[in-house]
Structure 1
Amino acid sequence: MISANPEAPKLKFEPMKYGGSLDHLEYVDVTPIIGREYTKARIRDILHADNSEEQLRDLAVIISERGVVFFRANQDDLSVDDLKKFTDLVGKLSGRPKENGLHVHPLYRDPGNIPMGNGETDENIYVINSEAAKALYKTMAGKGSKEPKDLRREWHSDATFEECPSDFSCLMMEETPASGGDTLWCSGYEIYDRISPPMREFLDGLTATCAQPVFKSACTAGNYDVMSPRGSPLNVGDKFAPVHPVIRTNRQTGWKSVFAGVGLHVTQINGLYDYEDKMIRDYIMRLITQNHDCIARMHWTKGAAAIWNNSCVWHAATPDTHLVADGVRTGIRASSIGETPYLDPASTSRREALGIPN
């Protein structure tokens, strides 16, 4: 439990506490460290429950503590509006800035964007589709490389390229291939706990630039304007190069997590020489790849959904569906926009807060 020491520094945000409103739902914890799967629950039932806000608030606590939550049952009764409302309310009820809402993808106007399964488009819904991604990101640096693909680059947290990144993202899978297409999530909490105390103290003071120039280059190549604002009054323009803390505090739990130390959008750790920057990022990536007990894996089934907290997990899609005949994997994702990332001096690691020895 979090320390009740009256002399302990006070956190910027009071950690949320679980109230028990979801105890009636069957679940299994995916690993001891990360992930929970609700085996039969339907999101629509939570949305329309008499105590809906209580359940959604409790769900925000569980997601923030476990990192990611899977809904295994086919959510075929969940409309696009329901998905948006669900994601929006989880963010809102967990204390995000009042002026923020759902993210708007920068490239929504791109003709490469494909519609949802119902044939419609929505600025707050990003359609996950590997073929569409090829068209959207054809101007990304390194696209023409003949080198074997480095799948370490797949790790990221959503909208890190924004001043206010995403807090919660929810993805519902509409079409799945016969095999492959899994998504992995890794606990930034646990990766932080596996770093030595002197190294943690060093990393606590660092920031990283999270530049993603592909959005501006795509708009230039396609001759259309970037979407703006994008879920927050601070997410405007086409610079896409914010500075974020390498270690951040999760506002829902008060626990520290590695955040901008690695990932698709992280371009440099600031203030270091080039070799030092590479060394630190390689070190954090090594922690991810050598500690697979920090990872939860979702093998998608039609209509399944996942919701995660981008403040404390990275995720990576497995790009292997091209190896399967008719290997189509299509899903729709909504993302809430949280606060500007921060490191609270009063925050602690997850294990320290819960009294779990390293």
Structure 2
Amino acid sequence: MAEPLGAKTMPKFAIKPLTPTIGAVIEGCDLAQRLDDEQLAEIRGALLKHQVIFFEGQQMSPVQHRDFAARFGALHTHPLYPGVPEAPELFILDNHKDNPTDNDSWHTDVTFIETPPMASILYAKHLPPSGGDTIWSNMKAAYEALSPTFREFLSGLDAVHDFARGFPQRGIVAKGAGEDRHAKALAEHPPVLHPVIRTHPETGEDGLFVNFGFTDRIKGLRRKESDAILNMLFEHIQKPEFLVRWRWSENAVAFWDNRVTQHYAVNDYLPHRRIMNRATVLGDRPYHRSRMPAGVRAAAE
């Protein structure tokens, strides 16, 4: 059928995988423009398939960054990091010799709340001459590499995620935020329980959901037992087969599925400066398929 006169066909994006396991670059997409529903669906599909997707050479204002992120859900405002003045839902990661990074450990963002983020969108504003890469790990691949017996054992367990573990009182971010702000955040974020194995709410696939940054212990196990299992898993997720390492260029954007990844900001660039803006999209309460919430179960059936 001929296309109606005057109709405009938007070009498909070029999606180029970076590894067989995780990561892809999307070309031909201008995030500063308001994308239509079909384009957003294509981006979401790429995110679900590749876990982390990258866009280079973007020219977004803070408001455009915020508005793009908000197309995927409600935004989380971080209790400690400084916000971007024009769009306070975003926060600034500004690291240099007088403010070294605290992100040089493997973590999944904001798992210290009951509904951790579904995604984060990070925009490179100022980069060091070299270094400052970020590495992501695929938690589905890490889970599937475990033995079936161990996977079954882990599937029945919950773990404690603790704000105080990730942001201790004497830590860099706490000191930068100030004693009063840290105390308020600590009071508002008591420890929460999440399943050790999480079922992805969109793909239905299982993945590890414990991370060094915020997971303190496994419920129901003695401390030594819990530490042994968690330390093994924290090491396991670092296998090169699960990873993609991204070398930033100025104005590049990384968009990752926080439900099925962990990441690590490589701290090798000091005393140079690195500035990034981040939007964080809230998600659902994590569950395992064996303990699926009633509403989710009904929809699945």
- List, as ranges, runs of 4+ consecutive aligned residues in structure 1 with deviation greater than 6 Å: 225-228
Secondary structure class of the residue paired with 2:237: helix
Structure 2 partner of 1:11:
none
Aligned length: 278
Structure 1 partner of 2:267:
319
* Alignment of 1:154 onto 2:105: yes
Structure 2 partner of 1:146:
none
Equivalent position to 2:71, from 81, 84, 89: 89
* Alignment of 1:71 onto 2:28: no
Q: Is the 8 A contact 2:112 2:189 kept in 1?
A: no
Structure 1 partner of 2:93:
128
Looking at structure 1, the residues matched to 71 and 250 of structure 2 have their Cα atoms a distance apart, in angstroms, of 24
Secondary structure class of the residue paired with 2:125: strand
Structure 1 partner of 2:276:
331
Q: Is the 8 A contact 1:68 1:308 kept in 2?
A: yes
Q: Residues 81 and 132 of structure 1: is their aligned pair in 2 closer, same or farther, counting only changes over 3 Å?
A: farther
TM-score (norm 2): 0.83
Equivalent position to 1:175, from 113, 126, 132: 126
- CA shift at 1:313, angstroms? 0.3
Structure 1 partner of 2:160:
209
Mapping for residues 278-357 of structure 1, pairs under 5 Å = 278-289=227-238, 291-322=239-270, 327-345=272-290
Which one-letter code corresponds to 1:180 in the other structure? G
Q: Residues 254 and 316 of structure 1: is their aligned pair in 2 closer, same or farther, counting only changes over 3 Å?
A: same
Q: Residues 27 and 227 of structure 1: is their aligned pair in 2 closer, same or farther, counting only changes over 3 Å?
A: farther
Looking at structure 2, the residues matched to 63 and 86 of structure 1 have their Cα atoms a distance apart, in angstroms, of 14
Secondary structure class of the residue paired with 2:39: helix
- CA shift at 1:128, angstroms? 1.3
Looking at structure 2, the residues matched to 162 and 203 of structure 1 have their Cα atoms a distance apart, in angstroms, of 21
Equivalent position to 1:198, from 149, 164, 177: 149
TM-score (norm 1): 0.71
Q: Is the 8 A contact 1:69 1:306 kept in 2?
A: yes
Structure 1 partner of 2:298:
none
Encode CA deviations 1:256-276: one digit per residue, 9 max, x unaligned.
01012x321111111111221
Q: Residues 86 and 256 of structure 1: is their aligned pair in 2 closer, same or farther, counting only changes over 3 Å?
A: same
Secondary structure class of the residue paired with 1:316: strand
Structure 2 partner of 1:269:
218
Secondary structure class of the residue paired with 1:192: helix
5+ residue gaps in structure 1?
1-20, 93-100, 138-150, 229-235, 348-358
Q: Is the 8 A contact 2:113 2:189 kept in 1?
A: no
Encode CA deviations 1:188-221: one digit per residue, 9 max, x unaligned.
0000100111100000011111112265844995
Structure 2 partner of 1:56:
40
Structure 2 partner of 1:166:
117
Looking at structure 2, the residues matched to 267 and 158 of structure 1 have their Cα atoms a distance apart, in angstroms, of 15
Query: Counting strand residues as a fraction of each chain, which structure ranks higher?
Result: 2
- CA shift at 1:131, angstroms? 4.2
